[in-house]
Every structure is written in structure tokens, then in C-alpha cells.
Amino acid sequence: MLSRLTIASLTAVASISVLGLVHVNAVSAAGYEPAGIQVAAASNLNNGKKIYAANCASCHGAKGEGGVGPSLRGDLKTPVMKRTKKAVVAWIRDPKPPMPKLYPGTLKAKDVDDVAGYVLATFK
């Protein structure tokens, strides 16, 4: 469990601290490329699971199989983004319609972090 996710997250934190504070993300023609976003070192997957069921499953399916929103399994390509917590956190914080912007209203920063970790760890 204390696996690649944790290591990847720590790496992300390390690289972000060089950049400084949170930046606004950017969508380029080549795909979705978030700039620096601060993410916690480890996601609470139990909280992530609850957040997902309450806020995401209606569009992305209970098992990430897709529905109104795209499948969250395998390559993320609507829009194209890496399967990294940094990219998914940035997207959830500032998605494009019709995906609703749930942060900072409904979701706290930690909730966004936890649900991103849950999605990446659960839907392969």
C-alpha cells in the first residue's frame, strides 16, 4: 500500500516546492498540462471512496467505467492528461464543463487530493 503512489506524491511535493505556491493550471493544444499544484503526501483512500461515491460516480460510474463522463480507467484522454495525482487534482480543482467545479465549494482541498488518489489507485 505504501507504494508508488506515495513515492510519486513525495516527488511531486518536492518539485512543486521549487515552484512556490499554487499556480493556475493551463490547457494547451497538446493536452491538459497543469502547472504547479500542491498535493498532500498521501491520500486517504477511504475518504476518497466516499467523496467519489457522492460526487463523481453519477457521471463516471461506480467503478469508473464511464457514463455521462468518460471512463477513468487506463489512459485519461478526455482531455489528455497523465495518470498522476498532480494532473488529476488540477483537473478536479478547475475542470471544463460539463464537469462541475466542486472545489472550493463542495470539496475541500484534502477531499480533492483524496478522491484523486482513490481514482488513480482503484480504476486501472
User: Which DSSP symbol is given to 29?
Assistant: T
Residue keyed to cell 467503478: 63
- Told to check if 55 binds ligand HEC by CB under 6 A, we report yes
53 contributes a contact to ligand HEC by CB under 6 A: no
Q: Is residue 77 involved in binding ligand HEC (CB under 6 A)?
A: yes
Gap between the Cα atoms of 58 and 50, Å rounded: 13
Q: Around 124, how many Cα atoms within 13 Å sit in the side-chain half-sphere?
A: 2
19-48: which residues touch ligand HEC (CB under 6 A)?
none
- The stretch among 6-14, 16-24, 36-44, 91-99 that binds ligand HEC (CB under 6 A) is 91-99
Q: How far is the CB of 97 from ligand HEC (least distance, A)?
A: 8
Q: Where are the alpha helices (DSSP H) in the chain?
A: 4-19, 45-55, 57-60, 85-93, 109-122
Asked if 66 and 35 count as a contact pair (C-beta separation under 8 A), the reply is no
Q: Which of 37, 91, 114, 123 forms a contact with ligand HEC (CB under 6 A)? A: 91
Taking the least distance from each CB to ligand HEC, the nearer of 22 and 95 is 95
CB atoms inside a 10 Å sphere around CB 68 = 10
Q: Does 56 bind ligand HEC (CB under 6 A)?
A: yes
Per CB under 6 A, residues contacting ligand HEC are: 55-56, 58-60, 68-70, 72, 76-79, 81, 88, 91-92, 96, 98-100, 102, 115, 119
